[in-house]
Chain A
Amino acid sequence: AQSVTQLDSQVPVFEEAPVELRCNYSSSVSVYLFWYVQYPNQGLQLLLKYLSGSTLVKGINGFEAEFNKSQTSFHLRKPSVHISDTAEYFCAVSDQGFQKLVFGTGTRLLVSP
C-alpha cells in the first residue's frame, strides 16, 4: 500500500525567504506524486505533478518539486515566498490505475512580513 509522510506540520517563514516542504513516500510499485494547495477556506487545487520523465517538475505560482527515487522523497520548494503563499500544502501519491489519491497529513506554510 502507498503512503506519504509529511514530517512538518507547520513551517513559518519570512516573506522573500526560500522554503522547502518535505514529503517522503512509501510504495512497492511505480509512483505518481502530487502536491496540492489549500488556501484558507477553500478546497484543494493541484499545484504540480510527477508522472514520469524529468525528476524536476514545475508547478503554478513558482513552486517546484524534485522526485528522488533513492531517497523516496518529493520535496516542494520555492526560492522566494510571498504572503499570498500562506496555505496548507498536501503531498499525495496515486496508485498505478489512478483510481485514488492518498494524501499526507499536510504542512501549514505561514509567511510573515
Chain B
Amino acid sequence: EAQVTQNPRYLITVTGKKLTVTCSQNMNHEYMSWYRQDPGLGLRQIYYSMNVEVTDKGDVPEGYKVSRKEKRNFPLILESPSPNQTSLYFCASSLAGRSYEQYFGPGTRLTVT
C-alpha cells in the first residue's frame, strides 16, 4: 500500500530535550515536505526537499532541522524544542514537478511543556 508514515504519532516532551520525528514514504517520490498545522493558521511549510541531499527552507524554518540522506526518509529534528513548537506536524511527498498532488502522512501531535 502506497503511504507516508510518521513516528511517533503523539509525543509529549519538555523544553530543550532534542527530538526527531521520522517520515518515510514508499512511493519513490522525489519531493518531500514538512508542515505544521495550528488553529486559525492553516498549514505552514517548515522545510522541503526536492531530492536526496537537496533541502530548502519553507515559511517557518526557525527551530527545525531536516536531512535527506535517503530518498524515502525525511526526518524532522527539533534540537531544543520550545512550547511554541507545540503543534500538529505533517509530512508529505510527491513526484517531482507535481508538488501540488502531495500525499500526506497521518500527522504527529507534539506537545512541549
Q: What are 23 sample pairs from A and B whose C-beta atoms fall under 8 A apart?
A: A32-B100, A41-B106, A42-B106, A43-B104, A43-B106, A43-B107, A44-B90, A44-B92, A45-B103, A46-B102, A49-B101, A51-B100, A92-B100, A98-B98, A98-B99, A99-B99, A100-B58, A101-B45, A101-B99, A101-B100, A103-B35, A103-B43, A105-B40
A residues in contact (CB < 8 Å) with B: 6, 9, 32, 34, 41-46, 49, 51, 90, 92, 94, 98-101, 103-106
Known pairs A42-B106, A46-B100; list 6 more (Cβ under 8 Å): A44-B102, A98-B97, A98-B98, A100-B33, A100-B45, A103-B35
The yes or no answer to B66 lying at the interface (CB within 8 A) is: no
Between A43, A45, A104, the greatest number of chain B beta carbons within 10 A of the residue's beta carbon is seen for A43
Contact present for A103 and B50 (CB under 8 Å): no
Number of B interface residues in the complex (CB < 8 A): 25
- Alpha-carbon separation in the docked complex, A16 to B104 (Å): 29
- Alpha-carbon separation in the docked complex, A74 to B99 (Å): 19
Contact present for B42 and A100 (CB under 8 Å): no
- Chain A: which residue is nearest B44 at the CB level? A103
- Chain A: which residue is nearest B90 at the CB level? A43
Contact present for B41 and A105 (CB under 8 Å): yes
A101: chain B residues at CB < 8 Å are 45, 99-100, 102
Contact present for A43 and B4 (CB under 8 Å): yes
